[in-house]
Structure 1
Amino acid sequence: MQKSNSKLPNTQLPQSARPIVSTLPSQQRGLVFSSLILIVIIAGMVLLALYLIKLDRTITHKFEGKRWDIPAKVYSQPLELYQGASVDTDTMKTWLELLNYQSNKAYDRTGTYHKSGNTYFIHTRGFTYSANDVDKEQVIKMTINGNKISSVQSTLPAKSGIIRLEPVNIGGIYPDSNEDRMVVSLDDVPQPLIDALIATEDRAFYEHKGVSVRGIARAVINNFSGGSRQGGSTITQQLIKNFYLNSDRTLKRKANEALMAVLLELHYSKDEILQTYLNEIYLGQNGKRSINGFGLASQFYFGKPLKELRLDQQAMLVGMAKGPSIYNPRRNPNDSKERRNIVLGNMLAVESLSQEDYDKAIERPLDIVEKPVEGKSQFPDFLDIVKRELNTVYYSDDLKNEGLTIISTLDPIAQLAADKAVDKKLGELRRKSSKTKDLQGALVSANPETGELVSVVGSGSEFTGFNRAVDAKRQVGSLLKPVIYMTALESGRYNLASSVDDSPITVNLSDGTKWNPKNYDNRDHGYVPFTTALSQSYNQAAVRLGMEFGIDTFAKQLKRMGVKEDIPPYPSALLGSVNLSPMDMLGVYQVFATGGFRTPIHSIRTVIDDRGRILQRTGLNTQRSIPPETNYLTNYALQQVVATGSAKRAKSLGSNLNLAGKTGTTNDFRDAWFAGYSGNYVSVVWVGRDDNKPIGLSGGSGALPVWVDYMDRLKLTPVSLPEPEGIEWLWLENNSGKLSNERCTDARYLPVLSAHLPEEASSCALGLYQQDRAREQSQLQNQQGNFEIPNGEAVDTDSQENSDEQDENDADTWYDRAVEWF
């Protein structure tokens, strides 16, 4: 039987019976690959979602939180206008110039005024002192006659009768980032500026959702093709770049910028985005600080708030957004003007500006201010003292970052007077000799009643951080002598006419050595009147008097008057070998100027946070330091220093002012001082060299001329301390302190403590008194001799006894009657 062949060619097998070994693995691979792609896509989407969430949180966290570190701004006190106020035309001129008000007959805009004769029409800008103390813009009509306001009216009611002209910005306390800005709301931004910005930077701002596809495509093509790099960014993208990112020109940064711009527009309105952009944009550099935002740029370049800028000035600021360095109007005025005109042309193209207005605007000059208001502080010494006072209360970061508003006590008129006086007089003194070539000075001045610091000069032409008003601790010389004489008066052992010994004195020191102080004229004057010893500043008399009461008593008196420094327990301290600053001495003389009340010198009135809440208000922390009757006598003695003593030069300011003060000169003429006061200013001047070398000037020839020049620039009121209880005015013999009479040659009519009236009379007064009593007795006897007893009646013996009793009572009050006679 033949075997059959069971194997057939593959080609002959049915289709369904063919093997699928090669087909099945291919499908599996495709499925796996598709799955992997899907997983990658899903993972990518998850990662993208997570990344978007991260970006979203980044955006909302900063946008809804604290967007910027806002510097603290420091202002002067405002100028108070009311009927009878001591304000003259020079004061008004200076204040309006400091505020950069513009003369305008129409005065129809804030920051403008018109002067007609002695009448002013002022359109104020208004100012927010706190949430509950807001001065709105108004028009003031004011007339000045002589040196006073005779009438004042305003378009808004003033319940107090006082209208305030806004304070002057004197500087800021800036963040560590060195970014400076003045945050403005959208309502404070003029519409033409917004129109200019949109026409130039992003015409589709109100239509797109954060990005411009056409702009991004153009930027990508240019960057890849090697063309000029450009952005084509929307305003929202520019805000994202400035607010969140950096200026790196990479695709990654650009992608982030686009994503974040879309996210930002999903969360916030166009107005919110635009307002943030207006406050964030970088528009220049002020030294180390950047100028951010249109609000600050307006002040920096034009010295005005945004709403007072002309159309062309607004366009100039918008043009700077493209390149603040290239289009800086101070460095490149032509480029800046050309760029400004392009912005104006853009406005014309989108019909937000008429042809007529365009033609006028492009013809305008830039009108940039030479010295920006927001530039380097013109009062750096005062600002330094404000910062020091703030640092004792607030954390440094809060001062730099929280947008605080500080109203200081600075009086710009007094400060300008101080600057001019120091500059002028130091210049004259420096030209005198080689010793005075490197002369430096310091001046501090305050309102004695309130303790408010009004002016400070403590550095040279450039502020280095060394403020001589507070940092220069130098020996004060004879400025402390009034404290010695005050102690003597308070004790009751001395009065203003007492005799003081100015003969040579030897003081035994604790180390076994001897100290022999000498007078500056190297002469001994023997016994001299109390006020003469002080007014002529005799050293020997001061030491003898001071040692009588002890150095410990002297030190306690200084502490009582507010001196915080330790007083060395050496006799030389009586002659001022104590290192104190001008500010320390200002505090001492403030007590003398106020009748014995001590009010700490301070430089801050109020501190307000960014919501208008008052964080600090400096009230009057006044304490009795010296008994009023003692201070009254001391003040009289200090007035004699000006009237007849070493400070007679100050009489040139007006003899009716009754000025008081004291010169001070240290060993080898190293330091020259003068401290004194009128009714409304207490001021201290120091002159010397930083290297402590002799200057060859005394207090009268070095410091007093500066003091006089400064005070002469102010409106002074007389020293007129109220006479307290416990004071009587008597005729006293000068250089003995005994009771006297006005007919005696050496008699002076002086205030005396009622509790310590003199118990002796001068020989001249006694003689006159006896003559007057004898004359009275003679007249009485003559009257009795002419008296006839009617009908020969006898005299009533009871009446005679009553008369004898009356004589006894009269004898008991003899001293009182004698004092009254003297």
Structure 2
Amino acid sequence: MHHKPSLAKSPISKSSASSLNTFTGKTPNPEQQRGSVLGFLLLIIIIVGMVILAMYLIKQDRVITAKFEGKRWNIPAKVYSQPLELYQGATLTTKNLDSWLEMLNYKSSSNYDRTGTYNKSSGQYVIHTRGFQYSASDVDPEQVIKIKIQDSKITSIQSTQPSDTGIVRIEPVTIGGIYPDNNEDRIVLPISEIPQPLIDALISTEDRGFYQHKGVSLKGIGRAFYNNLQGGSMQGGSTITQQLVKNFYLSSDRTLKRKANEAVMALLLEMHYSKDEILQTYLNEINLGQNGNRSINGFGLAAQFYFNQPLKELRIDQQALLVGLAKGTSYYNPRRNPERALDRRNTVLANMLATGKIDQETYEEAIAKPLDVVEKPSVGKSRFPDFLDIVKRELQSNYHPEDLKNEGLRVFSTLDPIAQFAADNAVQKQLSVLRKKSSKTKPLQAALLSANPASGELVAAIGSGSEFTGFNRAVDAKRQVGSLLKPFIYMTALESGKYNLASSVNDSPVTLNLSDGSSWTPKNYDGVDHGYVPLTTALAKSYNQAAVNTGVEFGVGTLVNQMHRLGINEKIPTYPSLFLGSVELSPMDMLGMYQVVAAGGFRTPIISIRTVVDDRGSILQRSGFDTKRSVPPDVNYLTNYALQEVVRNGTASSLKSLGSDLNLAGKTGTTNDYRDAWFAGYSGNYVSVVWVGRDDNKPIGLSGGSGALPLWKDFMGRLRLTPVELVQPDSVEWLWLENGTGKLSHESCPGARYLPVLSRSLPEDASDCALELYQQEQSRQQMRWLNDQRKALLNRSRELDSVQEGMPSGASNGENNEGGMGSQNDEGGASNNNNSENSGDTWYDKALEWF
């Protein structure tokens, strides 16, 4: 008997049931509906999650590539001095060369087998240079040079690299930087310039599996997690790639979100870039110290910060110390915590030994070394802040501020470290002496500037105290300049042709009525009226009344125009007191004015920058000489002579001790109540200005000769000076003049001086003494001429008598009358006529030649 199977007990799938329900017209139950919706939602969630993950990965990938392939860092602009040029015959002392090598932190070594080392013996140097790149097309290779110095000159020079010019350069000194707003500083090095032992030390200590993993080390994370659970020292387990991601892209927050981002970005970074690219970026990114408010980033700068040497010149133990700092720059700071730093360094060395990167002997030698960290780093704080400030001001007029902070520009300045050190030492020494003179001089300050007269290149600058505050007296301090303007009053007088160097000027009392109804009566510093005195004496002795009387003759406006012609761009008040320097100008302004005279009348703007080079080695700026004729050469030549008189016989006569053959020129300056003391002057190769005073503008009781001149003399005495030898223009000639009248004179007359004179303005009068001598000379010449004529006639008569003895008397008489005396008379007449003609046409010229 067969039974019909029961439908309820038949195994039917959900899909079948659904089909059946559809077929039969029945709806699914609620549980079935919910299951279907949840499945669909789960599918949507998975899809959305994958989209979000993809978007997240794409975003992170873009973040990584954008920064890694773009501008990775804000590189500060670095400012350098000029290099030291060595060639046969160049002036150089052993002391100056020693100072330069010391500034560059070269080390004395017997075998000079490494860059940055030298050997010195009996004036002979063997120097292993580091090489230097000035631009893409101007690169000095590393080389060994051998030079011999004798009597402050290079007598021989040899090098291991050829030179077409015969000049070998030692690299410039870094004088400072212009830093980005984040205050990060670094020296970016390619992987090829990183010493291999340092790389070995880093990988042995921080990430031994660096070359095997793909950015994240599961083994390292597990080891660190287990160690932390066991209560051991806290370990991070991060790879070098993860550390780079944390420092380069992320914050240092200890959150799971940040760690997850770090791991993902590390994997992405390894997918895109090679191990060497990642390692190079890490080596330049990592923070290894703090210099004030500025962070020290990268191993290149850290080597300079802790050892004052390039990274490639460090010993293996020094490299290990830097690697050890990666774990904690503050905790292992070798200056504050030397014991911790030593232990950490030795740990790094032990890791290198364990991984076979060094042998036992090298390890033992290295751990026996002291830390050798320098007490004061040469990086960060500028050696020459006042000069650097002037460079920054010049840069800001030509470049956008962001370019200076972020583009890694290299600025090659005009600074000469030898001259700058001379300025530093001279000011420090002389200010110390002056500050002890009285209570008035205790808060004394000074400014000093020096430049090359021909090029206008600034070589040294001092404008602040021991700490730079931003107020640079060399350019910011506007003070009355006093007698420094007097030479330009006399320049105007000489240019007019009414005066020459021997002319008299009036040093009698003078009272001027001013526009406000008051009067002004200037007095000499010595309180004495000197009456009429020679122009050169009035300038050399700095007589006030003579300067005012001469200035009034030509007007205040003429002096103002003269100052503008000499480079002063500021508005100058047209008060009569301007004749005594009652105008506020800076030392830089006065340097510009005196540069013109020192350069033969050519005005070249004072510059502090030679070239600017971008991070690719391209030259963005090259300083060209913007030289213009400012003062006629003949007028300048006479003004120069007058300024040399100040040194020969005037207020700066103490400078003769620097060398009588130097022909130095200059002028002291003193203002009312002895508030400011100045000296401006020049040699053949330096024009320098010194100001001394108080910031509160109170009297100091010092004149230009007692206050500023000692600083100027000390500074210039430390340099190798060349004589002032201006080229004499064709429009200048030398004549004997009567000193005090400017009239023509003679060398045997009392008070006669042999002086340069403008050819277009020769004196027309002669002194009584010279006239008397001239008349006597003319009488003597006339008598000589008459005697010569008498002798000639007598000789001719004797010749005729001899002829007549051998001839008939008639013929003799006829010939005698025709060709004898007649011929003589014709010759004599012709001679007299010619003499008369010459005497009439060129009498003044002949007189000038005689005078």
Fold agreement, TM-score > 0.5:
yes
> Which TM-score applies when normalising by structure 2?
0.93
Equivalent residue, structure 1, for 2:781: 776
Equivalent position of 2:9 in the other structure: 15
2:518 and 2:45 map into 1 onto residues whose CA distance is 97
**1:799 offset after TM fit, Å?**
3.3
Counterparts of 1:576 and 1:368, CA distance in 2: 53
- Determine if the alignment matches structure 1 residue 277 to structure 2 residue 306: no
Alpha-carbon shift at residue 566 of structure 1 (Å) = 1.4
Matched, 1:821 2:850: yes
Whole-Å separation in 2 of the counterparts to 1:430 and 1:118: 39
Secondary structure of residue in 1 paired with 2:737: strand
Deviation at 1:220, TM superposition (A): 5.4
1:802: which partner in 2? Answer: 830
Query: Corresponding residue for 1:374?
Result: 379
Aligned partner (choices 288, 292, 301) of residue 297 of structure 2: 292
Mean CA deviation greater in 22-31 or 703-712? 22-31
Q: 1:117 aligns with which of 118, 122, 138?
A: 122
Say yes or no: does 1:308 pair with 2:336.
Answer: no
Please give the alpha-carbon distance, in whole angstroms, between the structure 1 residues aligned to 2:533 and 2:732: 24
Q: Alpha-carbon deviation of 1:689?
A: 0.3
Tell me which of 410, 416, 421 is aligned to 1:405: 410
Of 497, 502, 509, the match for 1:504: 509
Q: Using the alignment, how far apart are the partners of 1:107 and 1:598 within structure 2? A: 46
- Of stretches 112-121 and 452-461 in structure 1, the one that deviates more from structure 2 is 112-121
- Please name the residue that 1:246 is paired with: 251
Aligned to 2:821, what secondary structure does the other structure show? coil
Partner of 1:767: 772
Report the CA distance between 1:16 and its aligned residue.
5.1
Shift of 1:460: 0.3
The yes-or-no answer on 1:612 pairing with 2:639 is no
Q: Which residue of 2 aligns with 1:159?
A: 164
CA distance in 2, matches of 1:811, 1:749: 27
Given the superposition, is the C-alpha separation of residues 16 and 115 from structure 1 closer, same or farther in structure 2, using an over 3 Å criterion? closer
Partner secondary structure for residue 538 of structure 2: helix
Q: Describe how 1:330-341 pairs up with structure 2 within 5 A.
A: 330-341=335-346
Aligned to 1:4: none
What secondary structure, in the 3-state scheme, does the structure 2 residue paired with 1:37 have? helix
Offset of residue 304 of structure 1: 1.1
1:16 & 1:599 partners in 2: Cα distance? 111
Distance 2:61 2:376 in 1: 43
Tell me the CA shift for residue 34 of structure 1. 2.7
Structure 1 partner of 2:806: none
Corresponding position: 1:643 with 2:648: yes
* Structure 1 position 531 matched with structure 2 position 536: yes
- Name the structure 1 match of 2:673: 668
- What letter is aligned with 1:803? S
Q: Distance in 1 between matches of 2:315 and 2:541?
A: 63
**CA distance in structure 2 between the partners assigned to 1:353 and 1:612 by the alignment:** 38
- Residue 804 of structure 1: how far off its partner (Å): 4.2
User: After superposition, what is the alpha-carbon deviation per residue over 1:553-591, rounded to whole angstroms, capped at 9, x for unaligned?
Assistant: 111111111111111111111110111100110011111
Give the CA deviation at 1:504: 0.6
Normalising by structure 1, report the TM-score: 0.97
Match of 1:455 in 2: 460
Instruction: Look up the match of 1:593.
Output: 598
Deviates more, 1:511-520 or 1:687-696: 511-520
Choose which of 365, 383, 387 in structure 1 pairs with 2:388. 383
Give the distance between the partners of 2:728 and 2:153, measured in 1 at CA.
Answer: 28
Give the distance between the partners of 2:376 and 2:638, measured in 1 at CA.
Answer: 49
Q: Cα offset for 1:375?
A: 2.8
Deviations 1:466-488 (A, max 9, x none): 00000000000000110011111
Match of 2:813 in 1: none
Tell which deviates more after alignment, 758-767 or 649-658.
649-658
The one-letter code matched in structure 2 to 1:403 is G
Take 1:654 and 1:16, find their aligned partners in 2: how far apart are those partners? 128
Which of 702, 708, 720 is equivalent to 1:697?
Answer: 702
2:524 is aligned, of 514, 519, 526, to 519
| Cα offset, 1:227, TM superposition | 7.5
Tell me the distance in 2 between the aligned counterparts of 1:761 and 1:209.
Answer: 101
Moved more, 46-55 or 664-673: 46-55
The amino acid across from 2:833 in the alignment is E
CA distance in structure 1 between the aligned counterparts of 2:236 and 2:480, rounded to whole angstroms: 65
| Cα distance between partner residues in 1 of 2:263 and 2:6 | 66
What does 1:62-141 align with in structure 2 at a 5 Å threshold?
62-141=67-146
Change (3 A) 1:202 1:16: closer
Q: Hey, what's the Cα distance between the residues in 2 that align with 1:426 and 1:753? A: 43
Which residue is 2:756 aligned to? 751
Greater mean deviation of Cα atoms: 391-400 or 781-790: 781-790
Q: For each residue in 1:132-156, what CA deviation from the matched residue of structure 2 results, as whole angstroms up to 9, or x when unmatched? A: 0000100001011110000111111
Per-residue CA distance 1:524-567 (angstroms, 9 max, x = gap): 00000110000000011001111111111111111111111111
The answer as to 2:658 corresponding to 1:653 is yes
Q: Secondary structure at the match of 1:372?
A: coil
Contact 2:662–2:723 (CA under 8 A) maintained in structure 1: yes
- Superposition deviation, residue 619 in structure 1: 1.4
1:437: which partner in 2?
442
| Contact 2:177–2:380 (8 Å) recurs in 1 | no
* Aligned equivalents of 1:636, 1:732: Cα separation in 2: 15
Which moves more between the two structures, 566-575 or 16-25? 16-25
Aligned mates of 2:830, 2:236 — CA distance in 1: 118
Kept after mapping to 1: 8 A contact 2:453/2:595: yes
Q: CA deviation at 1:226?
A: 8.6
Q: Deviations over 1:738-757 (max 9, x none)?
A: 00011111101111111111
Structure 1 segment 524-563 matched on structure 2, within 5 A: 524-563=529-568
Letter in 2 for 1:244: Y
